[in-house]
Amino acid sequence: MFVRKKGDGAEEMEEYLDQISGMPIRFSYAKLKIATGNFQKKIGQGGFGSVFEGSLQDGQKIAVKCLESSGQGKKEFLAEVKTIGSIHHQNLVTLIGFCVEKLHRLLVYEFMSNGSLDKWIFCIQPQQPPLDWPSRKTIILNIAKGLAYLHEGCRKKIVHLDIKPQNILLDANLHAKISDFGLSKLIDRDRSRVATTMRGTPGYIAPELISSVMTEKADVYSFGVVLMEVVCGRKNVDRSQPVELLHLLPVLMKKAMDDGLIDMIDRRGESMQSHSSEVVKVMRLAIWCLQRDYKKRPSMSMVVKVLEGTMEVEAELDYNMHTPTILAAVTRETELETTATEILPSFLSGPR
């Protein structure tokens, strides 16, 4: 019987990469070292590696993620290459290429000049006006289209499993693209659900993942949380708020029951208030996405239709979206800061 030596990890990686069709460009480590000026300008730090800004010879700006060569870094590398290495969509960050050389594992992405969404909805600077409603709606629609493609437009369903504002990047025109596929899972189309260990970021994790049930509807739930953060202009767990307002979703549940959703609209800037009736309709879409029973959530293609005005939100919605057990788990995880992916500045873009 042939037994592969432990030192053959690189050979196994090569064999695996050879089997993937439609692979992006393969770069040498030396070329990426030159492109990044010897990895001089660090623009981000993730749980499993660092990210550096660079430029290719043709002037194209890039973001180079340097991953650890073993453990979770290797898993993240393979997950990224498996998922977005051979697919292309205007609302997914493009993986331009990669490098596997000795112990080096690097991923090369397009550079997104306007950073991550969290900086635009949570960290408003005095000189930076808040996003108006048309911009926010475009961003929401972009995210929805990207997820619809992952779930329904690829040969295998791709479930992202870590949708949050930090993983939504904005280009020069404030169009949104989904990034960071390090936790993603591929599901065969003949399987409606799979068992998995819980993964993601507290506050965005769908309730059923606590019971290790995973479908693409987990992304729909996370999208619903992000949608509410975008229209409210606050984090789903905001420790600057009074205790009764700490968690966004219980506030949403109460306001929905009291017909007071308009009270939750971001009050910064006139645009949100002047479009209040449309914003409230989008809030109802968020509630549909946040249904506790994942079977009652819409598909992302249905979400796109609602946002484009060709479909209405389900009339009968369950406003009991959260349970004390789930809230307690979210609070405990955020207090311990045991997020599956750290909440950090975007590593595909530099500081604005």
Q: Taking residues 196-214, report their average pLDDT.
A: 83
- pTM metric for this prediction: 0.86
Ranges of beta strands (E only) in the chain are 25-26, 42-46, 49-55, 61-67, 95-101, 104-110, 157-159, 168-170, 176-178, 185-187, 194-195, 213-214
Residues 4, 8, 9, 15: is their CA dihedral positive or negative? Answer: negative
Pair 158, 184: CB distance under 8 Å: yes
Alpha helix stretches (DSSP H) within 149-289: 217-232, 248-257, 270-274, 276-289
**Tens digits of residue pLDDT in 101-134:** 988 999 999 999 998 999 999 976 777 889 999 9
177 has pLDDT over 60: yes
Other C-beta atoms closer than 10 Å to the C-beta of 48 total 20
336 has pLDDT over 60: no
* Catalytically annotated residues: 162
The residue among 133, 102, 143, 118 whose CA lies nearest residue 303 is 143
186 has pLDDT over 70: yes
Q: Out of 215-224, 305-314, 327-336, pick the least confident.
A: 327-336
Phi-psi region of 325 (alpha: psi -120 to 50; beta: other; left: phi over 0): alpha
Average pLDDT over the chain, rounded to an integer: 85
Q: Please tell me the predicted confidence (pLDDT) of residue 343.
A: 35
- The arrangement of secondary structure in 24-110, i.e. its CATH architecture, is 2-Layer Sandwich (3.30)
> What gap in Å lies between CA 55 and CA 64, rounded to an integer?
10
Q: Please tell me the predicted confidence (pLDDT) of residue 112.
A: 94
Q: Please tell me the predicted confidence (pLDDT) of residue 192.
A: 57
**Tens digits of residue pLDDT in 208-248:** 988 888 999 999 999 999 999 999 999 999 998 899 999 99
Q: Please tell me the predicted confidence (pLDDT) of residue 198.
A: 64
Q: Please tell me the predicted confidence (pLDDT) of residue 10.
A: 63
The proportion of the chain whose per-residue pLDDT surpasses 90, expressed as a percent, equals: 61
> What gap in Å lies between CA 346 and CA 148, rounded to an integer?
23
- Please state the residue numbers annotated as binding site: 65, 167, 180
Domain edges within the chain: 24-110, 115-325
Pair 316, 322: CB distance under 8 Å: no
Q: Please tell me the predicted confidence (pLDDT) of residue 170.
A: 96
**Tens digits of residue pLDDT in 34-84:** 999 999 999 877 667 788 999 999 999 999 999 876 666 777 888 888 888
The values of phi and psi at residue 164, to 5°, are -160, 165
351 has pLDDT over 70: no
Whether CATH 2.40.50.140 fits 115-325 = no
**Tens digits of residue pLDDT in 9-27:** 566 666 666 656 566 889 9
Q: Please tell me the predicted confidence (pLDDT) of residue 194.
A: 60
The residue among 109, 15, 20 whose CA lies nearest residue 56 is 109
138 has pLDDT over 60: yes
329 has pLDDT over 50: yes
Q: Taking residues 282-298, report their average pLDDT.
A: 97
**Tens digits of residue pLDDT in 244-278:** 999 999 999 999 999 999 999 999 989 999 999 99
Q: Which has more pLDDT, 348 or 92?
A: 92
